[in-house]
Amino acid sequence: MVKDQETVIREFNELVNMSASELEDWLKEGASESAGWSKSDGSGETIGHESGRKIIEILNKNPDKNPDEYDQDDIDHMRRVVAYCKRHLAQEGKAKQDPDSKSARSLKNWGHDPSKA
């Protein structure tokens, strides 16, 4: 069953616990590039790293988190972020125990810092 837009927005704002500037700083660190699947375009960037850049755009575009200000592209990406974070948080206890684990680094690329949870 597909989640309604209101649920996606609420869950995105609960799961993404990093500010745009925190996420931007994190994505500049080398550790952020060493977790996740590489994109198929040959750029060397990971899918999560690209996702992090999109999350920064969403956060900067709508800092007040007004549900009416998100466009369909935002909602589509927010849906992917929610699905990724929920799936990985359910599978990986290690992310919370070890902030240097690949799992924790990958979640941070998707805007969720497990050490804050």
pLDDT tens profile 32-74 = 776 666 666 665 567 778 899 999 999 999 999 999 999 999 9
Q: Where in the sequence is the domain holding 25, given as residue range(s)?
A: 5-109
Residue 97 lies inside a defined structural domain of this protein = yes
H helix or E strand, kind and range, residue 89: helix 72-91
Q: How many folded domains does the chain comprise?
A: 1
What is the per-residue pLDDT for 101? 76
Can you give the pTM of this predicted structure? 0.87
Question: 20-28 and 102-109 are packed helices; what angle lies between their axes, rounded to 10 degrees?
Answer: 130
| 72-93 tens-digit pLDDT | 999 999 999 999 999 888 876 6
Residue 57 lies inside a defined structural domain of this protein = yes
38 DSSP β-pair partners: 46
Report the C-alpha gap between 15 and 43 in whole angstroms: 28
What is the per-residue pLDDT for 37? 63
pLDDT at 4 over 80: yes
Residue 45 lies inside a defined structural domain of this protein = yes
